[in-house]
Amino acid sequence: MADMMEFSYVPPDQIVGNSAFVPDGDERNHLARALRKKPGDSVHFVDGEGWIYEGVLVRMKPEVEIEILDRRRDGEGGSAEVTLVPSLLKGPRLDTVVEKATELGVAGIIPMRSSRTVAGGGEPGGQRLERWRRIALSAMKQSLRARLPLIVPVMSLQEVVGTASSYDLALIASEEERGTGPALTSCLVVEARRILLMIGPEGGFAREELDMAREAGMQSVSLGRSRLRADTASIAGLALLMAALDSA
């Protein structure tokens, strides 16, 4: 049954009592055209904050209204919240990181600019941010998750390091540690509920950046012996981390 289910998305502020309203045109079109839903049909949707809803379509026009019949938590509430900090990358490669990170269940994504970041100008910042958020929304629904990661505007490495103390555990993957330093999963502690994972650009982190991160209390870790591309490192590191948390 689960593999036949498909989620729609309704923002939390559009859920009032036992009624939900779909303000987004793309979501409305998806319900009507792709899923061929009509009044009286059952609908499953999520709110991006961990709730899964089951309801029935009341009407499609002038706005989509859903009567809520049941709601439940997604079952992931007990897991730690992981924020991924991937470096900006050329072309669409960060789009892939956002998509896969959402599928893996990340709580937040902070795109980061460091001294060795090489990323084309391309779209203005606001347009890139909106695109990443659309990608995350699509990935959340496709993977049947109920949590939409918070994606913030691009931050500098210095700004991110300045937030490290607000996390229970802050990790920075370093090529210096490759194959010899502490493995990412060996640094986990049961008490850590909020975890930050920072991944560098293709050229790696500069020495002064690593020193700055360590001075701020961040733990430098290894992702293994292989030399990984930056986008692969983000996905592989996050997968290792999430798997370790799930088994803890």
pLDDT, tens digit, for every residue of 1-45? 344 578 999 999 999 999 999 988 888 888 888 888 999 999 999
pLDDT, tens digit, for every residue of 143-169? 999 999 999 999 999 999 999 999 999
Q: How many domains does the chain have?
A: 2
Q: Is the pLDDT score of 47 beyond 90?
A: yes
DSSP helix/strand/coil, 82:
strand
Q: Is the pLDDT score of 121 beyond 70?
A: no
Question: Is 122 in the same domain as 230?
Answer: yes
Question: Is 11 in the same domain as 133?
Answer: no
Q: Is the pLDDT score of 77 beyond 60?
A: no
HEC string for 153-202: CCEEHHHHHCCHHHCCEEEEECHHHCCCCCEHHHHCCCCCCEEEEEECCC
Question: Is 129 in the same domain as 58?
Answer: no
DSSP assigned state of 48: S
> Phi/psi class of residue 237: alpha, beta or left (left: φ > 0; alpha: ψ in -120 to 50)?
alpha
- Write the CATH number for 173: 3.40.1280.10
Cα torsion 159, 165, 167, 170: sign: positive
Say what the pLDDT of residue 222 is.
Answer: 85
Q: According to the per-residue pLDDT averaged within each range, which of 12-21, 87-96, 122-131 is highest?
A: 12-21
**In which element (H, E) is residue 20 found?**
strand 19-22
Distance (Å, whole) CA 108 – CA 193: 13
- For residue 30 the two structure tokens come to 């998806």
Q: Are the C-beta atoms of 135 and 99 separated by less than 8 Å?
A: yes
Residue 154's domain spans which residues? 81-247
pLDDT, tens digit, for every residue of 203-212? 889 999 999 9
Question: Is 111 in the same domain as 216?
Answer: yes
- Listed range (33-37, 76-80, 114-118, 215-219) with the worst mean pLDDT: 76-80
* Single residue among 55, 73, 91 that ends a domain in this structure: 73
Q: At what angle do helices 125-142 and 93-104 cross, to 10 degrees?
A: 40
Could you give the percent of the chain with pLDDT greater than 70? 92
